[in-house]
Chain A
Amino acid sequence: MTETADVIVIGGGIHGCSTALHLAMRGIRVVLIEKDYSGRHSSGVNAGGVRQLARHLAEVPISVFSMSLWEHIADLVDDDCGFSNHGQVLVAESEPELEAFRERVDDLKLRGFIHEELIDRTELKKLVPAVSDQCPGGVVSRRDGAADPFRTTQAFRRKAVSLGARIHEGVAVMGLRRNGAVWRVETSAGAFEAPKIVNAAGAWADRVAAAAGDPVPLEVIAPMLMITAPVPHFIDPVVILRSRKLSFKQFANGTVMIGGGYRARPYRDENRTVIDWRQLADSAKTVWELFPIMRSATIVRAWAGIEARMPDDIPVIGPSASSEGIYHQFGFSAHGFQLGPGVGALMAELVATGATNLPIAPFRVDRFKDGLAATDH
């Protein structure tokens, strides 16, 4: 038997679930197909950063919009998603770095964005007392924060279901083809048909895109995170670095999560990653140098979620370049969690009306045609 809908969303991560929710809110009949379970990969195991700070210029408008949804997230999904906003701080490790940050903050201001604020050594020490005295300042985005990623993805899934979205987990897409005015998606649990498809398949999205005639240079990545046993409370905001790879966050229970973009070896067809301890040793070294208070901490777990990175480190958002009725929403390149609520709303708007209120042209799927290939890291 073939199940029909107005829109089929492929992928049950934060983006797929958010889009399904926003489509359902518009009264659109939506089916979501997820090969594992919602939040199984990056959406459920990422660092949980809810960050406008230090984003690519093209992403700033959608990030700011998404933040407006985060600030009332319980109104949207009936769950606070563990969201707290103690700010995020980008730490400068040298004067030249601080100077570069100043230019960036000034540039943002000229464009009308005031969420980033340059801070000096004194203010940095006030926000992050434990940071090494060597650091001359930084940038703060005071409304940023963090949430619980798996809980958030599940909250979006539950709310979407409560509004009529049909979600099929453990169902893998085998192929898609055009059947007159509708798209037919063959899956491990039968066929689905709808005039429109949203490709939110994360690390597997290149396969859906290729089937739709939009080959993309997607790189499968698995950013590593590690977490410590509880240490006494010493930090509120999330801390990130630029020159060296590090992000840093203490939870209410005292545990500290250390991330920053070092990558595990991903095996996307086996849902598996292999941790690279030599690189985590580098992360540990950076923490050891910048946060003396952490020197007695103990690492209890390390992990990595599988996701997609695009060569220019910004996502693909928008209609297919070659197939009517196909829309893409993937390639968030290790910083898509905060964008989930907002981009889901934009995608629902695009699917329903054919246009969006915010600029999404920089994210078009055919921008790699000039031979920009996935870089190998």
Chain B
Amino acid sequence: MISDLEALPANIDLAIIGAGPAGLAASTIAARRGLGTLVLDENPGVGGQVYRAIMANPVRDRAVLGADYWRGEALAKEAVASSAQHAASATVWSVSPLETAGYEIGVSMAGRSRMITAQEVMLATGALERPFPIPGWTLPGIMSCGGAQTALKASGLIPDGRIVIAGCGPLLWLIAWQYLNAGASIAAILDTTPRANWLGAMPHLPAFLASPYFAKGLKLMRAVGAKVRVVSGVEALRAEGTDKVESVVYTKGGREQSIAVDVLLLHQGVVPSINLSNAIGCRHTWDEAQLTWKPETDDWGVTSMPGLTVAGDGVGIAGAEAAAERGRIAALSAAHRLGKIDAATRDRDAAAPRATLRRFERGRMFLDALYRPAKAYRIPQGDTIVCRCEEVTADRIRATVPLGATGPNQMKSFLRCGMGPCQGRLCGLTVAELIADERGISPQELGYYRLRPPVKPIALAELAAMPKTEASTKAVVRV
């Protein structure tokens, strides 16, 4: 494990960004195939979000996080034991193409930065939660299910007080189940899955029943349902309170209801994290089934930029096990491009991962259709805040379209939405869908923010102190 900036290799065959399931599986394969491989991850340990803190978890009782979590242990051990190098607490803040071939990567460790180069780069940066912009969602006491899960995995923390979980999607049930295992009491689960979604999901049911998702999901929902009041068909969800959240209000069957809460966990699915692939300059497309942007890739994970692959949930949500298979496939393609294996070997070795991946991807279509978030929860109205960093409301965005803000980038220039430190992670999808809705066109026609590096903020002092020698400049040019 590399924990010192100077110990990073100046140049490497393959740099993998992210040590979640995709990055871990990819690093093992790439190292075995003889690629000089470096995995960079901003967390202190490997595992990514799903297997967070897998090698050093404070939650001793294995039943709390469940077998699916601990499945990551073998993956992590294999990767750590391989010849791939792992840099922990290493934040990648920029990846840019070199003039000839390869990439330059800006890495920050312990408050200092330097640039390294790689022939190939694999982005295994996973997913982030879809924004859930309901009235009152910025009140203290409200957090995302993902944030709650991070605190549980990394520190064993569960919040005090009355907890309500609202939204839809598999992760909602998983966090509820893990909370119950950890001894938390949950006042209610408010399921916002639109009833009409069942109709669209039914055609995908057979593939789902045949996929590994089915048994897992059913087990979770049964276990949670036995212990917690679950309200389905929840509409018009909003949070109320003055200094902090005090109640969650919703309608069911036309009748308004209210529950007193101290903690409200919101979640309506995860979407690919595209900040890095976007900032590098990859082409992206709108996925109408998953209602999100994703980088354009071929079936080896290669993007529109040569030598740049994306693996894992970053190319479309399919879960941890599918992510690992995508990592293996992308690693094989990198090994082939760098001359370590021939095409026949690459294709042969990719056959088994592809077969597994297909089962997950086909099962996924049912989940995508069933848990498709309602329009009202994606495209807010009135003075609901859309951009938290700059406090821009839905109304202001709609009113600015006629001034010439016909796309997200123009909107950014007018209202600064997406210009805060989160770089659109919390508002990008909402802003795009809102403008598209206002103009009556699809997000694909509209396009997305052109995101700017650094993809993670960097201290001015750190940039100023970056080593800049003639030799290092020349070394970059030669690569």
Measured CB to CB, the residues of A under 8 A from B are: 37-39, 44-45, 148, 150-151, 154, 157-158, 228-229, 253, 265, 272, 274-275, 277-278, 280-282, 284-285, 287-288, 294-303
Which of the residues A275, A287, A301 comes within 8 Å of B460, measured between beta carbons?
A287
**Complexed CA–CA distance, A295 and B461 (Å):** 6
Residue in A closest to B456 when the chains form the complex, CB atoms? A300
A275 touches B96 (CB 8 A): yes
A297 touches B460 (CB 8 A): yes
A299 touches B466 (CB 8 A): no
A88 nearest CB across to chain B (Å):
22
Q: Inside 8 A of A274's CB, which chain B residues have their CB? A: 96-97, 281
Beyond A284-B463, A288-B461, is A44–B413 a contact (Cβ under 8 Å)?
yes
Which of the residues B94, B407, B423 comes within 8 Å of A277, measured between beta carbons?
B94
Q: Sample 7 A-B pairs with CB under 8 A, ordered by A number.
A: A44-B413, A157-B404, A274-B97, A275-B453, A284-B461, A285-B465, A287-B464
Residue in A closest to B420 when the chains form the complex, CB atoms? A300
A14 nearest CB across to chain B (Å):
13
Which of the residues B96, B404, B473 comes within 8 Å of A38, measured between beta carbons?
B404
**Complexed CA–CA distance, A295 and B106 (Å):** 20
Most buried by B among A285, A288, A301: A301
Beyond A281-B463, A297-B460, is A154–B452 a contact (Cβ under 8 Å)?
no
Q: Inside 8 A of A265's CB, which chain B residues have their CB? A: 99
Q: Inside 8 A of A44's CB, which chain B residues have their CB? A: 413
**Complexed CA–CA distance, A281 and B114 (Å):** 10
Counting CB contacts under 8 A, is B419 at the interface?
yes
Counting CB contacts under 8 A, is B115 at the interface?
yes
Apart from A37-B410, A278-B468, A296-B459: 4 A-B pairs, beta carbons within 8 A: A274-B281, A287-B464, A300-B457, A301-B454
B404 touches A278 (CB 8 A): no
A47 nearest CB across to chain B (Å):
14
A154 touches B464 (CB 8 A): no
Q: Inside 8 A of B421's CB, which chain A residues have their CB? A: 229, 298, 300
A20 nearest CB across to chain B (Å):
14
Most buried by A among B115, B414, B457: B457
B452 touches A281 (CB 8 A): no
Counting CB contacts under 8 A, is B7 at the interface?
no
Counting CB contacts under 8 A, is B344 at the interface?
no
Q: Inside 8 A of A38's CB, which chain B residues have their CB? A: 404
Q: Inside 8 A of A150's CB, which chain B residues have their CB? A: 410, 413-414
Residue in B closest to A303 when the chains form the complex, CB atoms? B452
A250 nearest CB across to chain B (Å):
14
Residue in A closest to B99 when the chains form the complex, CB atoms? A265
Beyond A39-B413, A157-B404, A275-B453, is A299–B463 a contact (Cβ under 8 Å)?
yes
B452 touches A301 (CB 8 A): yes
Q: Top 5 nearest A-B pairs by Cβ distance? A: A150-B413, A284-B464, A154-B404, A284-B463, A288-B464
A277 touches B460 (CB 8 A): no
Counting CB contacts under 8 A, is B197 at the interface?
no
A interface footprint on B103-125 (CB within 8 Å = 1, 0 otherwise): 01010000000010000000000
Q: Inside 8 A of B465's CB, which chain A residues have their CB? A: 285
A273 nearest CB across to chain B (Å):
9
Residue in B closest to A154 when the chains form the complex, CB atoms? B404
Q: Inside 8 A of A154's CB, which chain B residues have their CB? A: 403-404, 410, 414
A280 touches B463 (CB 8 A): yes
Beyond A39-B413, A151-B414, A277-B94, is A295–B454 a contact (Cβ under 8 Å)?
no
B412 nearest CB across to chain A (Å):
9
Beyond A38-B404, A302-B453, is A272–B460 a contact (Cβ under 8 Å)?
no
Q: Inside 8 A of B266's CB, which chain A residues have their CB? A: none
**Complexed CA–CA distance, A150 and B413 (Å):** 6
B96 touches A299 (CB 8 A): no
**Complexed CA–CA distance, A253 and B415 (Å):** 12
B98 nearest CB across to chain A (Å):
9
Most buried by B among A157, A158, A298: A298
Which of the residues A37, A157, A295, A302 comes within 8 Å of B452, measured between beta carbons?
A302
Counting CB contacts under 8 A, is B406 at the interface?
yes
Which of the residues A157, A280, A295, A301 comes within 8 Å of B419, measured between beta carbons?
A301
A295 touches B460 (CB 8 A): yes
Q: Inside 8 A of B413's CB, which chain A residues have their CB? A: 39, 44-45, 148, 150-151
Counting CB contacts under 8 A, is B458 at the interface?
yes
Q: Inside 8 A of A300's CB, which chain B residues have their CB? A: 420-421, 423, 454, 457
B270-301, CB < 8 A from A: 281
Q: Inside 8 A of A157's CB, which chain B residues have their CB? A: 404
**Complexed CA–CA distance, A272 and B305 (Å):** 13
**Complexed CA–CA distance, A182 and B299 (Å):** 52
Which of the residues A37, A148, A282 comes within 8 Å of B468, measured between beta carbons?
A282
Q: Inside 8 A of B454's CB, which chain A residues have their CB? A: 299-302
Beyond A275-B96, A275-B453, is A228–B460 a contact (Cβ under 8 Å)?
yes
A interface footprint on B406-436 (CB within 8 Å = 1, 0 otherwise): 1100100110100111010000000000000
Most buried by B among A158, A296, A302, A303: A302
B457 touches A281 (CB 8 A): no
A281 touches B414 (CB 8 A): no
Q: Inside 8 A of A229's CB, which chain B residues have their CB? A: 421, 457
B60-116, CB < 8 A from A: 94, 96-97, 99, 104, 106, 115
Q: Inside 8 A of B461's CB, which chain A residues have their CB? A: 284, 288, 295-296
Q: Inside 8 A of B281's CB, which chain A residues have their CB? A: 272, 274
A285 touches B464 (CB 8 A): yes
**Complexed CA–CA distance, A295 and B463 (Å):** 11
**Complexed CA–CA distance, A253 and B404 (Å):** 23
Q: Inside 8 A of A296's CB, which chain B residues have their CB? A: 459-461
Residue in B closest to A169 when the chains form the complex, CB atoms? B406
Q: Inside 8 A of A301's CB, which chain B residues have their CB? A: 419, 423, 452-454
**Complexed CA–CA distance, A89 and B457 (Å):** 29
B457 touches A298 (CB 8 A): yes
A interface footprint on B441-479 (CB within 8 Å = 1, 0 otherwise): 000000000001110011111011110100001000000
Beyond A274-B96, A302-B452, A302-B453, is A288–B460 a contact (Cβ under 8 Å)?
yes
**Complexed CA–CA distance, A39 and B414 (Å):** 12
Most buried by B among A38, A148, A150, A228: A150
**Complexed CA–CA distance, A296 and B406 (Å):** 36
Q: Inside 8 A of B457's CB, which chain A residues have their CB? A: 229, 298-300
**Complexed CA–CA distance, A282 and B410 (Å):** 30
A154 nearest CB across to chain B (Å):
4
B104 nearest CB across to chain A (Å):
8
B459 touches A298 (CB 8 A): yes
A298 touches B404 (CB 8 A): no
A281 touches B410 (CB 8 A): no
A225 nearest CB across to chain B (Å):
10
**Complexed CA–CA distance, A229 and B460 (Å):** 10
